Amino acid sequence: MIFRNPAGAPELACEACGCRWFDRMANACYECGEPVPPAETEAFARALAEWRAALGDAPAAAGDATSAARDAPS
């Protein structure tokens, strides 16, 4: 399930238990172990892209030096 955090950004939560923590190596919920369906991952990616576009912060292409400098920790 996708919900919005207080800043308006989309977040993905487990359909089975509502947990927001996922093991990205296993692509499953940390709490209950339920796998994340590919359709949910795709829906989250679309929601994130829409949110970033609304902010005027479209994702940069891979290898874009400008985005790497912008996103580097300060």
How many domains does the chain divide into? Answer: 1
Q: What is the pLDDT of residues 31-72, one digit of tens each?
A: 999 999 999 999 999 999 999 999 887 665 555 545 545 555
Strands 22-23 and 28-29: antiparallel
74 lies in some domain? no
Q: Which element (helix H / strand E) includes 28?
A: strand 28-29
Q: Look at the pTM and tell me if it is higher than 0.75.
A: no
Q: Do the domain assignments include residue 73?
A: no
- Phi first, then psi: give them for residue 51, nearest 5 degrees: -65, -45
With respect to residue 22, please indicate whether it lies within any of the assigned structural domains.
yes
Residue 18 lies in a domain: yes
**Within-domain flag for 14:** yes
How far is residue 53's CA from residue 50's CA, in Å, rounded to a whole number? 5
Instruction: Tell me, yes or no, whether 33 lies in a domain.
Output: yes
Residue 34 included in any domain: yes
Domain that includes residue 6, residue range: 2-54
